[in-house]
Amino acid sequence: MEISIAPLNLLAIAPQIVVSVTALVVLLVGLFLPEEHRGRIAWPSLAGVLIAAGLLYYLWDRNDLTLSAMLRTDGYSLFLNLIILIAAALAILFSVDYAGRVRLPRTEYYSLLLLSTTGMMLMTAAVNLITLFLALEMLSIALYVLVGLNRAEQRSGEAAIKYLVLGAFSSGFLLYGMALVYGQVGSMALDDVRVHLLSTGSQSPVLLWLGLGLMLIGFGFKVALVPFHMWTPDVYQGAPTSVTAFMSAGTKVAGFAALGRVTLVAFSGLQNVWIWVLAVLAALTMTIGNLAALRQTNLKRMLAYSSIAHAGYVLVGLTAANRTGLDAVFFYLFIYAFMNTGAFAVLIAAHRLGSSPVAGENLDDLAGLAEHRPWLAAAMALLMFSLTGVPPLAGFLGKLYLFSAAVEAGLIWLAILGVLNSVVSAYYYLRVVVTMYMRDKKGAEVVPAPLCPALQLGIAVAAIATVFWGLWPASILNLVTITTRSFFGG
């Protein structure tokens, strides 16, 4: 018997391979380093991420199916991989000092961070239900451990249990949904699902509908859409802040990548139905995320609710289900990775300035920051303005594109609701700015601890990015349009 083996074409997934190999190398090297030098592991990890980003540039024009049509390397996956690698690189920069200070086991920390990054990158490329599920689990299981890695802190363990239980619960729904879809279609490939639906259309059996619904629930948990968001504030608050920064950007990008492929490619035949489901989810997510953020005094919880609200904004773009919508989603995710990880990084810096283990987490901890840390306060103010959507910052442009895509798709009510929500969100973002600039620090004197240069660099990059791409968005928009043109095959 002759066995034919399809050509592997490993080059197309070289970025993922580089990141995963770096994770393993880092794990091994860490074994041989004495404890006090383990902080240096950050640098080979960062190098791996940067090499992978370089490979993205090299692969840019490709549109390859690899590993027996399990993964597709196209502009869609490459651009989203770029965002994920940016989030990972920023997270590594933020961890250099923080991971040592809160006594995380650094070898495992960086290794798991890279493995989770690999999972996210594979998820953007997955075009088969099997790889989609495996990539999702790869990123999730690594994150469960990362969230609970601060073993001295009880809240970290609690957050890990909550994340694990709800994450596994959602995986169960996702998997069951995939099984039902497979049963109706007879294939795991997303393209086959699309072709099958083109022939049956809305006459599809009820089990296929059920399968799609269960899969949406599963993805809804991962990207924290209301009403599947309950875990988000607890997990974001309990996890080490550098992990929160990473997962708030990375899992969202990976989750939306998968959601995009499933809805826009596989289930494009049922578009007139899922548009309404997603529109309702987007409306709920924006509104409830913003309203809940209003009454938070813990900044990590506030940013968690704000990240829920932002998932709602991004979903508006996906709901539009046209090229403008996908352009807007990509641009927004790109900007969001800088804004959100940057905001969490400022909390890490504020943690450095206090003495308690939860320093920098409460709104009061930022009081008077403008006086003794003017640059840090200025960066935070920029990030907050950008998250609100104040022109000319990048957050404004991102929202503008998202909402205009919704208008173009005829979902005017959704765009109006989004704008109203942005107005509501101004209250809690600007409250942070007011606290930093208008209130004086009470009681204890300031700890004159210098900030780690890597952390300063990371925050500066994030803050400058929000200004730069607000004023000159053309470079990214060009990339995005090329990407989505190839995705919609035009």
Partner 1 sequence: MIPASYYLILSAVLFTIGAVGLLIRRNALVILMSIEMMLNAANLTLVTYSRFLENIDGQVFALLVMAVAAAEVAVGLAIIVSFVRHRDTTDLDEINLLKG
Nearest Cα to 293, choosing from 280, 308, 281, 279? 308
Residue 176 φ/ψ region, left for φ over 0, alpha for ψ in the -120 to 50 degree band, beta for the rest: alpha
Q: Which of 6, 43, 61, 186 binds partner 1 (CB under 8 A)?
A: 186
Is 178 among the residues that bind partner 1 (CB under 8 A)? yes
Is 298 among the residues that bind partner 1 (CB under 8 A)? yes
Is 218 among the residues that bind partner 1 (CB under 8 A)? no
Is 113 among the residues that bind partner 1 (CB under 8 A)? no
Is 157 among the residues that bind partner 1 (CB under 8 A)? yes
Question: At a CB cut-off of 8 Å and minimum separation 6, what does 219 contact?
Answer: 174, 255, 258, 259, 262
Longest dimension (CA), the chain: 81
Q: Which of 108, 137, 191, 364 binds partner 1 (CB under 8 A)?
A: 137
Q: How far is CA 430 from CA 227, 382, 388, in A?
A: 27, 11, 8
Cis peptide before 34 (omega within 30 of 0): no
Determine the 3-state secondary structure of 339 from DSSP: helix
The whole-angstrom separation of Cα 490 and Cα 475 is 21
Q: Which of 6, 37, 47, 183 binds partner 1 (CB under 8 A)?
A: 183
Question: At a CB cut-off of 8 Å and minimum separation 6, what does 416 contact?
Answer: none
List the end-to-end C-alpha distance of the chain, in Å, as a whole number: 43
Nearest Cα to 260, choosing from 310, 205, 223, 209? 223
Task: Return the residues of window 267-296 that contact partner 1 according to CB under 8 A.
Answer: 296
For 387, the token pair is 């998250």
**Min dist. Cβ of residue 295 to partner 1 (A):** 9
Determine the 3-state secondary structure of 456 from DSSP: helix
Is 191 among the residues that bind partner 1 (CB under 8 A)? no
**Min dist. Cβ of residue 22 to partner 1 (A):** 21
Q: Which is nearer to partner 1, 200 or 298 (CB)?
A: 298
The whole-angstrom separation of Cα 52 and Cα 87 is 13
The whole-angstrom separation of Cα 139 and Cα 113 is 9
Q: Which is nearer to partner 1, 75 or 167 (CB)?
A: 167
Is 182 among the residues that bind partner 1 (CB under 8 A)? yes
The whole-angstrom separation of Cα 207 and Cα 176 is 11
Q: Which is nearer to partner 1, 132 or 405 (CB)?
A: 132
Is 121 among the residues that bind partner 1 (CB under 8 A)? no
Is 171 among the residues that bind partner 1 (CB under 8 A)? yes
For tokens 């493995």, what's the residue? 115
Tell me, residue by residue from 346 to 385, as one string, x for binding to partner 1 by CB under 8 A and - for no binding: ----------------------------------------
Is 123 among the residues that bind partner 1 (CB under 8 A)? no
Is 398 among the residues that bind partner 1 (CB under 8 A)? no
Q: Which of 62, 101, 155, 194 binds partner 1 (CB under 8 A)?
A: 155
Q: Which is nearer to partner 1, 132 or 394 (CB)?
A: 132
Nearest Cα to 163, choosing from 132, 139, 193, 181? 139
The whole-angstrom separation of Cα 126 and Cα 137 is 13
Give the angle 453-382-76 at the CA atoms, nearest 5°: 85
**Min dist. Cβ of residue 294 to partner 1 (A):** 12
Q: Which of 98, 133, 338, 429 binds partner 1 (CB under 8 A)?
A: 133
**Binding residues for partner 1, how many (CB under 8 A)?**
42
Q: Which of 67, 69, 161, 426 binds partner 1 (CB under 8 A)?
A: 161
**Min dist. Cβ of residue 184 to partner 1 (A):** 9
Give residues in contact with partner 1 (CB under 8 A). Answer: 129-130, 133-134, 137, 141, 144-145, 148, 151, 154-155, 157-162, 164-165, 168-169, 171-173, 175-176, 178-180, 182-183, 186-188, 233-234, 237-238, 296, 298, 301
